[in-house]
Amino acid sequence: MPMRGHRQGRPQGGSRRWLRASEYPEEEIIITTEQYPRSSRYTDLHRVYSQCSGPGGLQVTEFLAQKMGVQSGDKLLDVGTNKGYQTCFLAKEFGPFVIGIDPWGDSVETLMRNAKDMAVESRVIGIKVGVPDTGFASGSFDKVMSTTTLEMIRGMKGEAGYREALAEIYRVLKPGGIFGLAEPMHRDVAIPEEIYPYVTRGDMPAPWTECFATLEATVQAVTSAGFAVIEAAEAPDAHRWWQEYCTYDPDPGEDREVIAQDNGRWTTYGYVIARR
């Protein structure tokens, strides 16, 4: 997620033609080094987005980690690591001990290779499990972070599956522990006509309309799991993060054109910081 490789659902007609990949305005993307002092040191965005698989790359991780107060001495769980570049970035730049979990493919092996390359292998462990079946003891972690992952679980397992994942995160956090969630969301507006066919179809793993929720619905789900929400909003750089992902991800498929067509009307990226 975002679900790569959609090749179906190309809108017919519409007043604007879609941008081709080569036409996407890469030069408009500006990295704001003041807000992202750590991730702005990772200047090769082609590399960053070949390692991260969602909007925001390392910036979303830094953004959440700052808000969560991630620090040396924390035991942090990263849910849905994929290649684990963000997991290792957390260990390297913020100093916690990080356990990264991902049940699919060779994510854990790739995570551990990245940990070695980034010289944080003594503070990173990858385990091939997923939420809700982590097997961790209750109250194991000071902090839990998850980016661009739980919405995929909603797409695959429905709202009940999303809530089971939240319940597991709640369970494995220590009382008083902090949860940072960030993921693709949609605004509470009608789906723009041009993107409707695309966002209502697809199977990677499900249409965006089955994966994405509004910020309000997400806050409600997090609250229902027992958390006290500290802060929740659309990320200030949501649209730029989507554009950046579409520009630099090696295989954004039709996402690139859909995001350009939508131009921030329906698709967004939100976050929730909550305390157990």
52 is a site residue for ligand SAM (CB under 6 A): yes
The 129-158 site mask, x for binding ligand SAM (CB under 6 A), equals: -xx---------------xxx--xx-----
238 is a site residue for ligand SAM (CB under 6 A): no
Q: Which is nearer to ligand SAM, 39 or 194 (CB)?
A: 39
SS (H, E, C) the chain: CCCCCCCCCCCCCCCCCCCCHHHCCHHHCCCCCCCCCCHHHCCCHHHHHHHCCCCCHHHHHHHHHHHHCCCCCCEEEEECCCCCHHHHHHHHHHCCEEEEECCCCCHHHHHHHHHHHCCCCCCEEEECCCCCCCCCCCCCEEEEEEECCHHHHHHHHHHHHHHHHHHHHHHHEEEEEEEEEEEEEECCCCCCHHHHHHHCCCCCCCCHHHHCCCHHHHHHHHHHCCCEEEEEEECCCHHHHHHHHHHHCCCCCCHHHHHHHHCCCCEEEEEEEEEC
Smallest gap, in angstroms, from Cβ of residue 17 to ligand SAM? Answer: 29
Smallest gap, in angstroms, from Cβ of residue 23 to ligand SAM? Answer: 25
**Which one of 80-88, 228-236, 251-259, 264-272 is the stretch in contact with ligand SAM (CB under 6 A)?**
80-88
Q: Which is nearer to ligand SAM, 196 or 234 (CB)?
A: 234
80 is a site residue for ligand SAM (CB under 6 A): yes
**Which one of 66-74, 101-109, 236-244, 267-275 is the stretch in contact with ligand SAM (CB under 6 A)?**
101-109
Q: Which is nearer to ligand SAM, 11 or 80 (CB)?
A: 80
Tell me which of 11, 39, 54, 163 binds ligand SAM, using CB under 6 A.
Answer: 54
Q: Which is nearer to ligand SAM, 1 or 124 (CB)?
A: 1
